[in-house]
Amino acid sequence: MTCKVLTVVGARPQFIKAAAVSREMLRHPGQIEEVMVHTGQHHDENMSQVFFDELDIPAPRYNLEVCGGTHGAMTGRMLEGIERILLDEQPDWVLVYGDTNSTLAGALAAAKLHIPVAHVEAGLRSFNRRMPEEINRIVADQVSTLLLCPTALAVDNLASEGRRKGVSNVGDVMYDVALYCADRTRSKSRILEQLGLQAGQFALATCHRAENTDDPRRLSEIMAALGDIAQQMPVVLPLHPRTRKSLHDHGLVACLRRLRVTDPLPFLDMMALEQAANVILTDSGGVQKEACFYGVPCVTLRNETEWVETVELGFNQLAGARREAIVAAVNNRSMPRQRPLVYGDGQAASRIVSSLRSAAS
């Protein structure tokens, strides 16, 4: 009997994670069938289509083209569209990733139709409920049947909330992708040459979280810090559409003058920059981990992180959004000599697919 899985994705990190799991599903023809739904949350080609092309992800069967608007409006439109698809497709499982509005909409739509939900990256907690991502991941976990955790700490977080049934530590699927793409990145990306950069002699920065982009004070402090760091080494900033708009809205565009600003980059180019950077500054959870995978010091532009292992093991510093603290963290950066395998062994996708097949049988 074939297990039918409806996968909901909508944002860059989800495309990347889905790549590994989708490849694994294709290794079991006749046993598991995937129907992929793209909500449209990230609709820009450099934030969306390029990932399907570079990572060999099957084209989505559905694209809801839901982008922009408030959290409530966006989630509501996604919820309506996903519900309609679920009624048509009647899957055995709905698979959601991470902590975006797409995650929340997919999980809620399935739960209300009594279709079991499997949540990849279950159990992560920043313990900051002002973050919309924190609300999304908590709610998704509450309605999920399979809680597929990336780390032992995520398992512990769920246990402290009374969730033990259906919980397993499968490892981090992002590590699977990092291993898969390492050689491909080196052979295909020419981004360093295009930007005139030397490996180990530049900083890479990303900033897109609402807590930073929607607060002009925090955004101003972060941009000022990047300008200070640019006096020591080139700072490359692939600029998220939300951040670009906020810089214009708050009159902060002049802050970009010292930086090497690019449009959002294809995945392989971004991986190449991460591997070659001297230091990475980011508010992205995924980029924090990727820095750890590649052994590059990371400075997180937030006051907390759901990936606490990166901090506890010395790979990452929390600097918040204060100019002085960010610059000091860069100047005081260091890395442990060895990277323990807290995120698994690169076989997370295989365990995720095995969990779905076993639960459906």
Which positions are annotated as active-site residues? Answer: 208
Query: Locate tokens 């980029």: which residue?
Result: 287
Q: Across the strands, what pairs with 261? A: 237
For the sheet containing 62-63, what is the strand order? 62-63, 32-38, 3-9, 93-97, 117-120, 146-149, 167-169
Q: What is the CA radius of gyration of the chain?
A: 20
264: its two tokens: 């959002």
Q: Across the strands, what pairs with 163? A: none
317-to-40, 123, 342, 358 alpha-carbon distances in Å: 33, 22, 17, 40
Spatial distance between the Cα atoms of 350 and 43, rounded to a whole number of angstroms: 29
Scanning the chain, the segments in alpha helix (DSSP H) are: 12-25, 49-54, 71-89, 101-112, 132-143, 152-160, 173-188, 191-195, 210-213, 216-229, 241-249, 267-276, 285-294, 308-312, 323-331, 348-360
289-to-69, 156, 280, 296, 299 alpha-carbon distances in Å: 29, 19, 11, 10, 11
Spatial distance between the Cα atoms of 230 and 58, rounded to a whole number of angstroms: 40
Q: How many angstroms separate the first and last alpha carbons of the chain?
A: 8
* Helical (H) or strand (E) element with 278: none
